Amino acid sequence: MSQADRQLAPFGQISADLVVVGAGVAGLWTALKALRAGLSVVLVEKDAVGAGASGGFMGALMPHMPERWDGKKQFQFDALCALEEEAARLEVETGLPVHYRRVGRLTPLVSLRQRGQAEARVEAANSVWSDRFAYNLPAAEAYAEWLDVEQAPLGVVFDDLSARISPVHLLAALKAALYAHASFQLVEGEAAGIDAKAGSLKLAEATQISFGNLVIAAGLGAFPLIEGLTGSPAGALGNPVKGQAALFEADELPAAANELPVIFADGVYVIAHGDGTLAVGATSETEFSEPFSTDEKLDSVIEKARALSPAMRNARLIRRWAGLRPRPAGRDPMLGEIPDSPGVFAIAGGYKITFGIAHHMADAVLASLGATGGPDIPVSFAVGAHIAKSRSRAS
* pLDDT tens per residue, range 35-93: 999 999 999 999 999 999 999 999 999 998 898 899 999 999 999 999 999 999 999 99
85 is a domain residue: no
92 is a domain residue: no
245 and 233 in a common domain: no
157 and 18 in a common domain: no
What is the distance between the alpha carbons of residues 358 and 83, in angstroms, rounded to a whole number? Answer: 10
Half-sphere exposure of 255 (CA within 13 A, CB side): 0
157 and 178 in a common domain: no
Residue spans of the chain under pLDDT 70: 1-12
Identify whether the C-beta of residue 238 lies closer than 8 Å to the C-beta of residue 223: yes
Residue 254 has what pLDDT?
85
120 and 18 in a common domain: no
Beta strands at 41-45 and 184-188: parallel, antiparallel or unpaired: parallel
Closest to 56 in 3D by CA, of 309, 324, 241: 324
* Helix H or strand E encompassing 262: strand 262-265
Residue 1 has what pLDDT?
32
Residue 295, Cβ density class (10 Å: 0-12 exposed, 13-18 middle, ≥19 buried): middle
Residue 15 has what pLDDT?
92
94 is a domain residue: no
305 and 366 in a common domain: no
Q: Torsions phi, psi of 104, nearest 5? A: 85, 175
367 and 271 in a common domain: no
287-308 pLDDT tens trace? 999 999 999 999 999 999 999 9
CA distances from 315 to 59, 62, 122, 247, 318 (A): 19, 25, 34, 10, 9
158 and 176 in a common domain: no
71 is a domain residue: no
What is the distance between the alpha carbons of residues 274 and 282, in angstroms, rounded to a whole number? Answer: 19
DSSP state of 181: -
What is the distance between the alpha carbons of residues 126 and 128, in angstroms, rounded to a whole number? Answer: 6
**The total number of structural domains that make up the chain:** 2
- Reduced to 3 states (helix: H, G, I; strand: E, B; else coil), residue 280 is strand
Q: Which of 306, 324, 342 represents a domain boundary (last residue)?
A: 324
369 and 308 in a common domain: no
Identify whether the C-beta of residue 41 lies closer than 8 Å to the C-beta of residue 183: yes
304 is a domain residue: yes
What is the distance between the alpha carbons of residues 360 and 292, in angstroms, rounded to a whole number? Answer: 29
173 and 148 in a common domain: no
66 is a domain residue: no
372 is a domain residue: yes
150 and 249 in a common domain: yes
CA distances from 30 to 34, 321, 354, 357 (A): 6, 26, 13, 12
Residue 255, Cβ density class (10 Å: 0-12 exposed, 13-18 middle, ≥19 buried): exposed
What is the distance between the alpha carbons of residues 149 and 156, in angstroms, rounded to a whole number? Answer: 9
Beta strands at 268-272 and 316-328: parallel, antiparallel or unpaired: unpaired
254 and 156 in a common domain: yes
DSSP letter for each residue of 86-145: HHHHHHHHHS-----B---EEEE--SHHHHHHHHHHHHHHHHHTTTTS-EE---GGGGTT
The CATH number assigned to the domain holding 380 equals 3.50.50.60
Residue 5 has what pLDDT?
35
The CATH number assigned to the domain holding 301 equals 3.30.9.10
Q: Torsions phi, psi of 294, nearest 5? A: -95, 160
- Note down the domain range covering 7: 3-55+169-237+330-394
Half-sphere exposure of 119 (CA within 13 A, CB side): 8
What is the distance between the alpha carbons of residues 218 and 77, in angstroms, rounded to a whole number? Answer: 24
What is the distance between the alpha carbons of residues 296 and 126, in angstroms, rounded to a whole number? Answer: 41
296 and 245 in a common domain: yes
Phi-psi region of 273 (alpha: psi -120 to 50; beta: other; left: phi over 0): beta
Residue 337 has what pLDDT?
96
What is the distance between the alpha carbons of residues 293 and 49, in angstroms, rounded to a whole number? Answer: 20
Residue 3 has what pLDDT?
36
CA 323 to chain centre: 14
Closest to 273 in 3D by CA, of 307, 246, 313: 246
Helices (H) and strands (E) in the chain, counts: 8, 18
385 is a domain residue: yes
